């Protein structure tokens, strides 16, 4: 660092089709700008000369098609230039998708042909699925399309909190710092960061989300033609593989992009060859994708929750509210026997019903839990309802029967029905 505490600056020259890979320092943000030339960050063009500020720990790349010079603070964890990237193959995929969108747009709106590409990105953890999804969406948005982003990754989702699956139309290239705008995503709460807890519930929510999107597409030729990009979990063995097939089927994907795994690719080719309208395409993983261990993942999840309440740079002020126990009805989904043993035929074992709504007693165990606020007006709508947002339980006063919670904004909750999973957060 230079004298005075502010880090020294440096300039990095990028040749055409190369990228600058950066890991921002753990405890300081990074300022940089495009001095000349043109460059993009995961598909979104950098503005010329404006300073951009990247938060600590962020990992990203600045790619240039024709050459660029970057001016940046010299205080990163790492930064280096790579001239071998799979970007040309990625942009070729984009070009093919673009052709299909144009064909869909030109078809009359009541035929199958008016459906644009439904792309699903699959691969092991840290293969760059989210990043590729983002590039494809931003490149499409840049050309005026409004594709739908569907994120089925309950571990490290990029639309909303962990534990959720969600969809959002993308009408502008995605901001490299802010990410996907949180305006009006369609969110379903699963409640856990691994599907093994309740795979049936995961499947039901995926179906529900697909159904709603199908309805929206039916009435909107523009989003229909733009199609969707679906990001998936990095869990690809056993149950994970079954869930991938389930997602491909449920969303009627027409393009399966497989990142960095021969085996998965050939397995998918094998089972999907009976569907002639599905293309399975193998793509190379970028050498820039950073592996994240479970500790980093946990801290990224926690960071997402902080961001939801406090904003990316602590720029939001969440509201603390107090409710009576009797004002709120909390459920968890799944578990508990279906029927009391006494009601079962002799010899039958009570089984846990994965889709049962189990009422939750309010007690101190709820402290620090993050609950989803359902849009349901009636109890029987809960399972199929998306969620309006989240609250974080900060205090439970048993004698006075009061519950204190934090919400992004004040005012009444849109419903008294709250959903509980295993999502917790502790302010650090």
Looking at residue 118, the DSSP 8-state letter turns out to be: E
Give yes or no for residue 153 binding ligand ATP (CB under 6 A).
yes
Q: Supply the DSSP string of 78-108, one letter for each residue.
A: EEEEES--SHHHHHHHHHHHHHHHHHHHHS-
Of the candidate residues 12, 32, 34, 61, the single one contacting ligand ATP (CB under 6 A)? 61
Of the candidate residues 29, 69, 102, 125, the single one contacting ligand ATP (CB under 6 A)? 125
Q: Identify which of 114, 176, 146, 164 has the alpha carbon closest to the alpha carbon of residue 389.
A: 164
The terminus-to-terminus CA distance of the chain in angstroms comes to 27
Residue where the block lists tokens 């500790």: 295
**Roughly what angle, to the nearest 10 degrees, separates helices 262-272 and 239-250?**
50
Looking at residue 174, the DSSP 8-state letter turns out to be: P
Segment lying near ligand ATP (by CB under 6 A), choices 6-14, 213-221, 243-251, 283-291: 283-291
Residue 256 Cβ vs ligand ATP, minimum distance, rounded to whole Å: 15
**Roughly what angle, to the nearest 10 degrees, separates helices 199-218 and 239-250?**
20
Task: Show contacts with ligand ATP in window 5-24 (CB under 6 A).
Answer: 19, 21
Residue 296 Cβ vs ligand ATP, minimum distance, rounded to whole Å: 9
Give yes or no for residue 234 binding ligand ATP (CB under 6 A).
yes
CB 190 within 8 A of CB 421: yes
Classified as helix, coil or strand, 221 is helix
Of the candidate residues 101, 129, 192, 332, the single one contacting ligand ATP (CB under 6 A)? 129
Residue 87 Cβ vs ligand ATP, minimum distance, rounded to whole Å: 9
Of the candidate residues 34, 43, 79, 126, the single one contacting ligand ATP (CB under 6 A)? 126
Task: Show contacts with ligand ATP in window 155-174 (CB under 6 A).
Answer: 156
199 vs 388, beta carbon nearer ligand ATP: 199
Residue 47 Cβ vs ligand ATP, minimum distance, rounded to whole Å: 20
Q: Cα 69 from chain centroid?
A: 31
Joined together, the tokens standing for residue 314 give: 């602590």
Segment lying near ligand ATP (by CB under 6 A), choices 9-17, 119-127, 185-193, 357-365: 119-127
Of the candidate residues 14, 44, 46, 60, the single one contacting ligand ATP (CB under 6 A)? 60
Give yes or no for residue 46 binding ligand ATP (CB under 6 A).
no
Distance, CA of 354 to CA of 337 (rounded, Å): 9
Segment lying near ligand ATP (by CB under 6 A), choices 3-11, 54-62, 193-201, 396-404: 54-62
Cα separation values, 261 from 31, 128, 283, Å? 35, 12, 9
Give yes or no for residue 131 binding ligand ATP (CB under 6 A).
yes
Give yes or no for residue 224 binding ligand ATP (CB under 6 A).
no
Give yes or no for residue 81 binding ligand ATP (CB under 6 A).
no
Distance, CA of 199 to CA of 100 (rounded, Å): 33
Find all residues with CB under 8 Å of 156, minimum gap 6, and list them.
130, 162, 297, 300, 301
Residue 234 Cβ vs ligand ATP, minimum distance, rounded to whole Å: 3
CB 369 within 8 A of CB 418: no
288 vs 334, beta carbon nearer ligand ATP: 288
Segment lying near ligand ATP (by CB under 6 A), choices 120-128, 220-228, 245-253, 308-316: 120-128
CB 408 within 8 A of CB 309: yes
Q: Supply the DSSP string of 368-389, one letter for each residue.
A: TBEEEEE--SSGGGGGG--EEE
Residue where the block lists tokens 């969809």: 167
Give yes or no for residue 122 binding ligand ATP (CB under 6 A).
no
Segment lying near ligand ATP (by CB under 6 A), choices 128-136, 163-171, 211-219, 364-372: 128-136
Contact pattern for ligand ATP over residues 358 through 397, marking x by CB under 6 A: ----------------------------------------
Joined together, the tokens standing for residue 265 give: 């690719």
Of the candidate residues 13, 31, 59, 105, the single one contacting ligand ATP (CB under 6 A)? 59
Using H for helix, E for strand and C for coil, what is the string for 121-182? Answer: EECCCCCCHHHHHHHHHHHHHHCCCCCEEEECCCCCCCCCCCCEEEEEECCCCCECCCECCC
Of the candidate residues 185, 288, 334, 421, the single one contacting ligand ATP (CB under 6 A)? 288
Question: Interface with ligand ATP by CB under 6 A: which residues?
Answer: 19, 21, 59-61, 123, 125-131, 153, 156, 234, 286, 288-290
């Amino acid at each position: 660092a230079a004298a005075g505490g502010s880090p020294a600056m440096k300039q990095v020259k990028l040749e055409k089709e190369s990228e600058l890979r950066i890991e921002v320092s753990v405890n300081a943000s990074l300022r940089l700008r495009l001095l000349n030339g043109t460059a993009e960050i995961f598909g979104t063009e950098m503005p010329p000369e404006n300073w951009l500020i990247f938060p600590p720990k962020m990992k990203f790349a600045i790619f240039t098609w024709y050459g660029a010079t970057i001016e940046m603070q010299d205080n990163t964890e790492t930064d280096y230039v790579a001239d071998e990237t799979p970007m040309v193959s990625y942009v070729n995929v984009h070009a093919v998708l673009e052709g299909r969108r144009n064909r869909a747009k030109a078809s009359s709106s009541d035929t199958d042909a008016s459906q644009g590409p439904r792309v699903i990105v699959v691969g092991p953890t840290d293969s760059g699925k989210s990043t590729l999804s983002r590039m494809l969406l931003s490149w499409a948005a840049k050309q005026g399309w409004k594709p739908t982003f569907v994120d089925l990754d309950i571990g490290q989702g990029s639309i909303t909190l962990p534990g959720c699956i969600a969809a959002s139309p993308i009408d502008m290239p995605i901001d490299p710092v802010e990410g996907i705008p949180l305006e009006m995503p369609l969110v379903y709460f699963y409640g856990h960061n691994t599907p093994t807890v309740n795979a049936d519930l995961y499947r039901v929510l995926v179906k529900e989300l697909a159904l709603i999107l199908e309805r929206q597409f039916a009435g909107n030729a523009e989003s229909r033609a733009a199609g969707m990009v679906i990001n998936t979990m990095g869990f690809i063995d056993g149950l994970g593989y079954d869930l991938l097939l389930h997602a491909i089927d449920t969303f009627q994907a027409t393009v399966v992009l497989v990142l960095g795994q021969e085996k998965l690719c050939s397995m998918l080719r094998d089972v999907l060859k009976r569907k002639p309208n599905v293309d399975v395409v193998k793509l190379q993983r970028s050498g820039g994708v950073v592996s994240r261990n479970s500790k980093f993942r946990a801290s990224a999840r926690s960071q997402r929750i902080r961001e939801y309440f406090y904003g990316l740079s602590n720029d939001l002020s969440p509201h603390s509210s107090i409710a009576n126990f009797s004002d709120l009805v909390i459920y968890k989904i799944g578990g508990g026997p279906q029927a009391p043993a006494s009601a079962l035929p002799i010899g039958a074992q009570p089984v846990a019903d994965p889709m049962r709504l189990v009422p939750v007693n309010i007690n101190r165990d709820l402290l620090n839990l993050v609950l989803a606020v359902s849009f349901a007006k009636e109890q029987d709508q809960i399972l199929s309802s998306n969620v309006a947002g989240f609250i974080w339980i900060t205090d439970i006063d048993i004698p006075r029967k009061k519950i204190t919670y934090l919400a992004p904004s004040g005012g009444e909750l849109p419903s008294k029905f709250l959903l509980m999973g295993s999502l917790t957060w502790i302010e650090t």
